[in-house]
Amino acid sequence: MFNRRKFILSSALIGGGLITTNLILKSKTEQLSAPGIIISDKMRPQIPYGVASGDISGGGRAVIWSRSDRPARMIVEYATNESFQNSEKIIGSAALETTDFTAKVNLSGLPTSEQIFYRVSFQDLSDINIYSVPVIGKFRTVPKSGQDIFFAWSGDTAGQGWGINSEWGGMKIYEIIRQLNPDFFIHCGDYIYADGPIKSEVQLDDGNVWRNLTTPEKSKVAETLKEFRGNYIYNLLDENVRRFNAEVPQIVQWDDHETTNNWYPTEKLLNDDRYKVKSVALLAARGKRAFLEYTPIGINGNDPERIYRSFNYGPLLDIMMLDI
C-alpha cells in the first residue's frame, strides 16, 4: 500500500544525499581549479632604499648591500647576463633590528673583466613563504689585462644645508656620474653631514627659495644611533642616488662630518648648545656604526670596525683607503 509519508521522507533523504554529494564534489573541484594565492605587495618585505655594490677587488670579490623594512633574510642571485641564465644564488644573513634591517652579502670567485648582474630579494622571517619583489643591480669586475680604467671620485653629500630639492631634480650630480658609466666610484668621505641639519627652505641671493625635502632625523644634529642612521636614509630618498648605487660600485671611506666637524676622540662639545650628548667619542661610535651599516663596505671578521683597507684592481692599479 502506498504510504505518502514514507515516500516523502525517503525522497527527501535521497535528494538530500544527492545534494550533499554534489556540494562536496563541487567544493573539491573548486579547490583543484582555484588559482594560486596572490600575495599583495603590501604583505611582502619592501626594499625602500634600493641596492648597492662595493669593494670590488682582485680575486673576484664584491660586496652587495641592501635594506629590508622588516626582519628578513637577504638573498642575492647573480649572473653574467641580464636573463640570469646559469645564475648563482647566495642565501645571506638576516636583516634584523640590530642593524636597522640592513644586510650585506660577500661575493667571491667572480670572473674578471665581466659585467655582473645581480638581484636582491628578502625572505620574510615571519612567514618564510613570502618574498620581496627583487631589485636589480650591476657592476663590472676588475680587468684581467692592462686595459684602460675609468673611475670617478668625489665626496661631501648634502652638506652646508643643501639637501634634496625635487623641484630642481634632486641630487643630479649622481645621475651625471652614472651616465658616464665609470668602472667604480671612490667616495672620499663626508658621506653624510651628521652635524649639518637640513632646513625646509633656504633663501637664495637672487630672491628665489631653495626647498629641501626634510625628515625629523635630518632636521637636527645627529646624536642618537637612529639619527645617524636617518642621515644615511635621507640621501637614499633621492632617486638619483638609488639609481647610481644600483649601477656604479663604490669604494668608500669616512671623514669628519660622519660624526661632527674636525672632531677628535677626546673632544667635548661643551660650547655647542645644539648637542645634548657632549662626548664626541660616543657620537663617533654611533656614527661609525651607522656608516658601516649603510655603505657597501666589506666587514673584516678580525676587526669589524676597520675602515682602512687596500684593493688590487687589476695589473695597473692598487687603491689604498685610509681611516681619517
How confident is the model at residue 11, as a pLDDT? 41
In sequence order, the β-bridge partners of residue 218 are none
Q: Give the type of residue at 237.
A: L
Rounded Cα distance between 66 and 293, Å, is 10
| Residue 45 vs residues 67, 103, 120: alpha-carbon distances, Å | 10, 14, 12
Distance from the first to the final alpha carbon of the chain: 109
In sequence order, the β-bridge partners of residue 74 are 122
How confident is the model at residue 37, as a pLDDT? 64
| CATH 2.60.40.380 residue spans of the chain | 36-147
Ramachandran area for residue 203 (φ above 0: left; ψ -120 to 50: alpha; else beta): beta
How confident is the model at residue 145, as a pLDDT? 85
Q: Is 36-147 a CATH 3.40.50.720 domain? A: no
How confident is the model at residue 298, as a pLDDT? 96
pTM of the predicted model, to two decimals? 0.87
How confident is the model at residue 36, as a pLDDT? 52
In sequence order, the β-bridge partners of residue 136 are 119
Ramachandran area for residue 229 (φ above 0: left; ψ -120 to 50: alpha; else beta): alpha
- Each of the 324 residues of the chain gets a pLDDT tens digit; together they read 444 444 333 443 334 333 332 332 333 333 333 445 677 788 999 999 999 999 999 989 999 999 999 999 999 999 999 999 999 999 999 999 999 999 999 999 999 999 999 999 999 999 999 999 999 999 999 998 888 999 999 999 999 999 999 999 999 999 999 999 999 999 999 999 999 999 999 999 999 999 999 999 999 999 999 999 999 999 999 999 999 999 999 999 999 999 999 999 999 999 999 999 999 999 999 999 999 999 999 999 999 999 999 999 989 999 999 997
> In which residue are the cell numbers 661609525 written?
288
Which residues, 6 or more positions from 279, have their beta carbon under 8 angstroms from its beta carbon?
268
Provide the 10 A C-beta neighbour count for residue 81.
12
Burial of 181 (0-12, 13-18, 19+ CB in 10 A): exposed
